[in-house]
Amino acid sequence: MVHTIFWIIIGIVIFDYLLEKFLDYLNYTSIQDTIPDQLEGIYDEEKYRKSQQYEKTNLAFSMVTSTFSFIIILVLLFADGFAFLDNYVSNITHNEYLRALLFFGIFGLSMDIITIPFQIYGIFVIEEKFGFNKTTVHTFIIDKFKGLLIGALIGGVLLVFIMWAWSETGNWFWLIVMGGISAFSIFMTMFYSRLIVPLFNKQTPLEEGSLKLAIVNFSEKAGFKIDNIFIIDGSKRSTKANAYFSGLGHKKRIVLYDTLISELKESEIVAVLAHEVGHYKLKHVYLGLLLSLLQSALMIGLLFFAISKPELSFAIGATSPSFYMGLVAFGLLFSPISTIIGIMLNMVSRKHEYQADSFANSYGYGVELIDGLIVLSVSSLSNLTPHWLYVFFHYSHPTLLQRKNAIMKQQGGDSI
Ligand SMILES: [Zn+2]
């Protein structure tokens, strides 16, 4: 049984890696040197060539990083790396909670440290070369520390909570953990913009002026009260632009990147905002939260059955079973299920994107929205012709051409 679980884990790790590489390969095959007809009028020759180079560079880089992680995980499994760390922390303390915290702390930190060269290369070489990088070394280092601290704090609290529930609450485990995670998710959804974002970025309320006036005009038409519009200093790290909706109820806010404001025309910004309001009006925020809770419910349910089996710890080399070794094995075994859930969540998300686009279009902002998306796609050298299977697995948004066609269709025009 222990051997079987070990080989199932190895099989899953290899399958995951091959699947990712296959999807990357499919995208690689869609790279073309000359501009395809469907992108005429979107990309000019030079920008198009640059976008294909960017795609090639990123695929090659992903090949290196994912192969590196793949080898590390295989070495850890075949050379009993997890068992080594288990022994090490067991010699430090007998307290189960401290051992688990040390185990994941050391593991997480080491994995982060050995991948730092890749992170540096990605930002300071690739993004720099293509003109996107704005991150300074200082920002990079500070971000690293803050990220690790927040990760350790949130991860540590959740780990201790789940372990406590496991050892103290018996058959109530599922219900209590689910209750805790739901409360935490709702809290984070509501306060993310107030608690986490300010640690990394500055958010300033949108100033009075013609943009604000145009937005107020739209919101009156749409019957939506927008009193929390913030500009975030995304330009601190990258030239790439974005906009998003966050929070629930009266804590809701729309966040626009400063890079978006500087690149788009006023009507295009209002169109992007109309799309974001669409997400809110159509209850996508609540649906998204509900789906992520369903995902947690499934995972905790399976964890409840799996974690009591000592074979899980033994499969990755433990000499005596422990919660954290079981959790590592469970995490590896759960990966195919999480891939399937990821695909389903992306399908829902792409549907929501079409609906939010359609909402913006129904207020007369369809053309401006597409124009705005084209500007953003071109300036971020997006790959506009990804392979459909890659889109199916990984894209949370439909491609630009798909969105453009959907809006054209609604307007009764010919799709391109
Ligand atoms: Zn959207």
Q: How far is the CA of 177 from the centre of ligand 1 (A)?
A: 31
Structure tokens at 102: 């040390």
pTM score: 0.90
Q: Please name every residue paired with 64 in a beta bridge, in sequence order, or none if there are none.
A: none
Q: How far apart are CA 350 and CA 355, in angstroms?
A: 9
Q: How far is the CA of 333 from the centre of ligand 1 (A)?
A: 32
Q: How far is the CA of 276 from the centre of ligand 1 (A)?
A: 6
**DSSP states of 329-340 as a string?**
HHHHHHHHHHHH
Ramachandran region, residue 320 (left: φ > 0; alpha: ψ -120 to 50; beta: rest) = beta
Q: Tens digit of pLDDT per residue, the chain (416 long)?
A: 899 999 999 999 999 999 999 999 999 998 888 888 888 888 988 899 999 999 999 999 999 999 999 999 999 999 999 999 999 999 999 999 999 999 999 999 999 999 999 999 999 999 999 999 999 999 999 999 999 999 999 999 999 999 999 999 988 999 999 999 999 999 998 889 889 999 999 999 999 999 999 988 898 888 887 778 899 999 999 999 998 888 887 778 889 999 999 999 999 999 999 999 999 899 998 999 899 999 999 999 999 989 989 999 999 999 999 999 999 999 999 999 999 999 999 999 999 999 999 999 999 999 999 999 999 999 999 998 999 999 999 999 999 999 999 999 998 765 44
Q: How far is the CA of 190 from the centre of ligand 1 (A)?
A: 18
